[in-house]
Amino acid sequence: MPHTESDIAAMLKTVGAKHLDDLIAHVPANLRASAAINLERGRTEADVVREISALAARNTGASGFASFLGAGYYRHYVPAAVRAVLARAEFATSYTPYQAEASQGTTQAIFEFQTLITQLTAMEVANASMYDGASAAAEAVLMARRMMPRRPIVALSRALWPDYRATIRTYLSALEGIEIVELPFDGATGATDLSALDRIADNRLLCVVTGYPNALGIIEPLGAIAQVTHRAGAVAISATAEGLALGLLRAPGELGVDIAVGEGQSFGLPLQFGGPGVGFMAARLTHIRQMPGRLVGQTRDRDGRRAFCLTLSTREQHIRRERATSNICTNHSLCALAVTVYLSLMGRVGLRELAERNVELAHQAAAVLEAAGIRRRFSGPFFNEFALKLANPSAALEAAERRQILAGVTLGIDYSELSDALLVSVTEMNHGDEFTRLAAAIAEVQ
Amino acid sequence: MASARIIGPAAVPEAASTPRRIEPVAGVPLIFELSSAGRRATDLPPRAPGERRGAEIIGAELCREDLPGFPELSEPQVIRHFLRLSQLNFSQALQFYPLGSCTMKYNPVVNDELAALAGLAQLHPATPAHLAQGALEILARMEAALAEITGMDAVSLHPAAGAQGELTGLLMVRAYHRKRGEARRKVIIPDTSHGTNPASCTLAGFDVIVAKSNRRGYLEAAEVRRLVSDDVAAMMVTNPNTLGIFEPEIQDIAAALHDRGAMLYMDGANMNALLGVAKPGHMGADVVQLNLHKTFSTPHGGGGPGAGPVAVKKHLEPFLPHPRLRRGAAGYEFDPERPDSIGRMRSFHNNFGMIVRAYAYILALGGDGLGMASRLAILGANYLRKRLEPHFPSATGEPSMHECVLSHDLEKRADVSTLEIAKRLLDFGIHPPTIYFPLVVHGALMIEPTETESKEILDSFVDAMERIYAEALNDPERVKNAPQTLPVSRVDEAAAARHPILRWEKKA
């Protein structure tokens, strides 16, 4: 704080007070009397660094392990250029670009983000970002409800990420006239059971939310799901936790999806113990008025130059208050900037190559495991994550940990029927030697 | 003083007295327009001989053909592009940024370094708890610190932003009443509230009743008594309110609500006025959300990420969202069994990166330092209010806390609007205050200087405002044509909404 004692004295004099506490004398005395904050005295910067570094060092799982952890958050290389841009205080310490003339950097970057997301998803419009993939999925369901307010049934694929399903349930919990059903997955392939969807595809169906790839690692037959959904006149929603998959897989928009949401963490954001990531949401232009969140549009300044600004804000809380499409205000703008820089660096060829590399390495890993007698739990196609069928997944995790390997995430925690399954994620951060070590560790206890 | 040169009126060239004719020039091209087929910034190791490509492995029918329109650039181009864009922004680090209700205080740079420590940045959220005890301890200490600061009993760090914290809190209120067999369908909101409050109510399934603040700009307990009923679940109160006034009857309001079984939800967006001054818990709040990117100095990021922890009294603790931290036999862990929880609001735990930064801030300031931060923020707002009084009188006669809301007579005297004043401030290198809010004040200027800014900066702001006032009377066109020194002149927002162009498209 910059105030010298003489500054404070001069300022107090101007406002006609003697002491700082005179300025809060109108706050009820009983509140002031008990307001002191009983925390330690302030520390020097060096001390703070020492303290937090010591805490960081106790997170032994952050380094020194070969890691196959994924399940919705993925280990990818973050190019230094992404961090360099994010470190710019001009981006990091500005706020929501209400003053367009003083925010052309932020607004143009958001416009580029919106464009990249529409290209990635093959949709027509994308917003400026949501908090994360799960809340974006919940907002997509709410958006679908605005599109067809009278339909009650929200169908969630059971193979949609458990966190996403749980978040959708919370967001819908206060709304009346909604019924959530879960679509089972095929126990053999790991894909959403199309016949179950077929049975509920009627004029009561509001929307269907499918993971793409799903929480079991499987690349869903999204086109077929969208087709059945549309036959019922309902809204097809895809949710992608591993954004990189969209660099290779057919785009949700190509497959008939109406709202494509997902998590952008794979695109240049550190794992950071699960947040902040960034949600994205893309849709068809016809539904733009029902979309939640900020949108940046292109326009002109008084001198005819191209300029950008927040637009269509009559959908939003600060204008429409209780009739807004969402309560979202602050979103994850800086994380969206990371995604924009990352995708610009990877580019048209690089992103696809990286996605292919992930497929190649994951399939190499699956082959090495299979050679050691460890089989996949599901037969469906996968991107960079797959489930293993194990007699005792917990024992496998422990055996692997002894060998400095984080082998994956047990699916039994969220799926009682999958107590035999371990979800393994493989990215460009893994290499062949780790696959052999993983196979050896698991084989030891199976 | 160097600062006077940074934002002083000298920044505006005299030649700008009549509208400059600026020929349309290309600004920074879009990243897509810089693209050149075949150019690239990254490389991967080559495949082994005979190795199949990913697309062949999973089958071409599952794969897209291309990423049409995606940029193709070199790394230097990408860096230059985004650094050039950065230079088109105003930011707290470079400019005075007194955006009311947003608490644009300095974001200590060391905190970004700390969040980037490998042990924190490279920690996967699914890491087994015994290998992540340092991170869990940070969360536990942060929960405890926020409980102490707010005078509440329990804290969840789960929500991603203030608005999500609001929704979380309201859903907990709803769950609490339901558990007791009460439907309670209404929430009272003052006419001065932030727009997120009513929007959150709708999402939480509540109908909104609007309470009127009195002529002096605050809520009377009598008004709350008049509105509260057995159908009211809660009242949402921002304290200090959006006029920057500490709600003097807040304890009576809490009592009025509690008497009828309703709760007090306190919107903690303006917590920067209250550190060591008054604790929401002692005012009678049952639940309060905090905005770490405001009060606790995490970067605003051009619109997030923030973090919106909720703090509650004991009776609401069982309803806190998943996942909830607890101390187990072997250390910290997440509690898997909480039957009354409202559930989760997002994936994984919380915006950990923001929590680390906020924790570092709390450690650096300590209890006393936090108290001083609020006092200096209050001093700054009152100083500006006093000095600006001759031409920009306060919208209220009540004492100001950390921000002041001012009005002016330029619309009547010179047909110059608040928006035009705001745009003219940009020419002085100052980010404008929040304008036209709260809605109860005509042409409002809502100014929150924060404890970050020195007396010199505040003085130059006053100089700029005075000069604009004089200009508005003597040379209104100069104000109406602002800004003239920025990368773009006045942006046509109406045209953007009339003909939405929301993405770049390749020319056919």
Indicate the domain borders of chain B: 112-364, 369-496
| Closest Cα in chain B to A298 | B501
φ, ψ (nearest 5 deg) of residue A209: -115, 125
The Cα A383–Cα B178 span in angstroms is: 44
Task: Note the pLDDT of residue B250.
Answer: 98
Distance in Å, alpha carbon of B188 to nearest chain A alpha carbon: 12
Give the pLDDT band of residue B48 (cuts 50, 70, 90).
confident
**Weakest-pLDDT range from A326-335, B59-68, B342-351, B387-396:** A326-335
Whether B150 shows a pLDDT value over 60: the answer reads yes
- Please judge whether B490 and A302 are an interchain contact, meaning their C-beta atoms are less than 8 angstroms apart: yes
- Please judge whether A73 and B348 are an interchain contact, meaning their C-beta atoms are less than 8 angstroms apart: yes
SS3 B487: coil
Nearest to B169 by CA among B144, B194, B203: B203
DSSP A125-190: EE-S-BS-HHHHHHHHHHHHHHHSTT--EEEEETTS-HHHHHHHHHHHTT-TT-EEEEEPB-TTT-
The token duo for B361 is 């801030």
Q: Provide the residue ranges of all domains of chain A, joining segments of one domain with +.
A: 62-78+347-445, 80-342
The Cα B394–Cα B481 span in angstroms is: 26
Task: Classify domain B112-364 by CATH architecture.
Answer: 3-Layer(aba) Sandwich (3.40)
For the sheet containing A375-376, what is the strand order? A375-376, A385-389, A421-425, A409-410
Mean pLDDT of chain A: 97
Q: Per-residue pLDDT averaged across A368-380, rounded? A: 98
| Closest Cα in chain A to B484 | A101
How confident is the model over A74-98, as pLDDT tens digits? 999 999 999 999 999 999 999 999 9
The token duo for B396 is 């209220």
CA–CA–CA angle B96, B100, B101 (5° rounding): 125
Q: Per-residue pLDDT averaged across B198-203, rounded? A: 94
Whether B185 shows a pLDDT value over 70: the answer reads yes
Contacts of A318 in chain B (CB under 8 A): 194-196, 437
| Closest Cα in chain B to A309 | B493
Q: Give the DSSP H or E segment for B435.
A: strand B434-435
Quickly name the fold that domain A80-342 has: Aspartate Aminotransferase; domain 2 (3.40.640)
The token duo for A30 is 């009983």
Task: Note the pLDDT of residue A316.
Answer: 83
φ, ψ (nearest 5 deg) of residue A319: -105, -50
Give the pLDDT band of residue A399 (cuts 50, 70, 90).
very high
Q: Closest to A131 (Cβ–Cβ): which among B82, B161, B360?
A: B161
The Cα A98–Cα B426 span in angstroms is: 13
Percent of chain A residues topping a pLDDT of 90? 95
Other C-beta atoms lying within 10 Å of the C-beta of residue B309: 29
Distance in Å, alpha carbon of A249 to nearest chain B alpha carbon: 4
Q: Per-residue pLDDT averaged across B42-68, rounded? A: 92
Q: Decide: residue A186, CB within 10 A, 0-12 exposed, 13-18 middle, 19+ buried.
A: middle
Distance in Å, alpha carbon of A198 to nearest chain B alpha carbon: 22
The predicted complex's ipTM stands at 0.97
Whether B9 shows a pLDDT value over 90: the answer reads no
φ, ψ (nearest 5 deg) of residue A335: -70, -35
Give the pLDDT band of residue A315 (cuts 50, 70, 90).
confident
- pTM exceeds 0.90 for this model: yes
Contacts of A314 in chain B (CB under 8 A): 497
Q: Closest to A8 (Cβ–Cβ): which among B127, B279, B379?
A: B379
Longest distance between any two alpha carbons in chain A, whole Å = 82
Task: Note the pLDDT of residue B11.
Answer: 44
The token duo for B170 is 């309201």
| Closest Cα in chain A to B303 | A96
Q: What is the CA radius of gyration of chain B?
A: 26
Task: Note the pLDDT of residue B26.
Answer: 56
Whether B464 shows a pLDDT value over 70: the answer reads yes
Q: Closest to A67 (Cβ–Cβ): which among B124, B283, B399?
A: B124
CA distances from B363 to A43, B143, B161, B291 (A): 6, 13, 22, 17
CA–CA–CA angle B420, B425, B430 (5° rounding): 150
Contacts of A116 in chain B (CB under 8 A): 70
Whether A313 shows a pLDDT value over 60: the answer reads yes
Task: Classify domain B369-496 by CATH architecture.
Answer: Alpha-Beta Complex (3.90)
Mean pLDDT of chain B: 94
Nearest to B89 by CA among A334, A298, A104, A92: A104
| Closest Cα in chain A to B149 | A37
Task: Note the pLDDT of residue B25.
Answer: 46
- Indicate if the alpha-carbon torsion angle A75, A81, A84, A89 is positive or negative: negative
Distance in Å, alpha carbon of A436 to nearest chain B alpha carbon: 17
- Please judge whether B489 and A101 are an interchain contact, meaning their C-beta atoms are less than 8 angstroms apart: yes
Whether B87 shows a pLDDT value over 70: the answer reads yes
Q: Per-residue pLDDT averaged across B13-19, rounded? A: 47
Is residue B389 within 8 A of residue B157, CB to CB? The reply is no
Nearest to A269 by CA among A341, A213, A330: A341
Nearest to B78 by CA among A292, A32, A425, A350: A350
CATH number of A62-78+347-445: 3.90.1150.10
Is residue A144 within 8 A of residue A238, CB to CB? The reply is no
B437 contact partners, CB below 8 Å, separation of at least 6? A318, B100, B101, B242, B444, B446
Residues paired with A308 in a beta bridge: A298
Query: What torsion do the CA atoms of B12, B17, B21, B25 make, to the nearest 10 degrees?
Result: 10
Distance in Å, alpha carbon of A202 to nearest chain B alpha carbon: 27
Whether A300 shows a pLDDT value over 80: the answer reads yes
Q: Per-residue pLDDT averaged across A39-68, rounded? A: 97
Task: Note the pLDDT of residue B15.
Answer: 45
Give the pLDDT band of residue B22 (cuts 50, 70, 90).
very low
**Weakest-pLDDT range from A141-155, A297-311, A318-332, B95-109:** A318-332
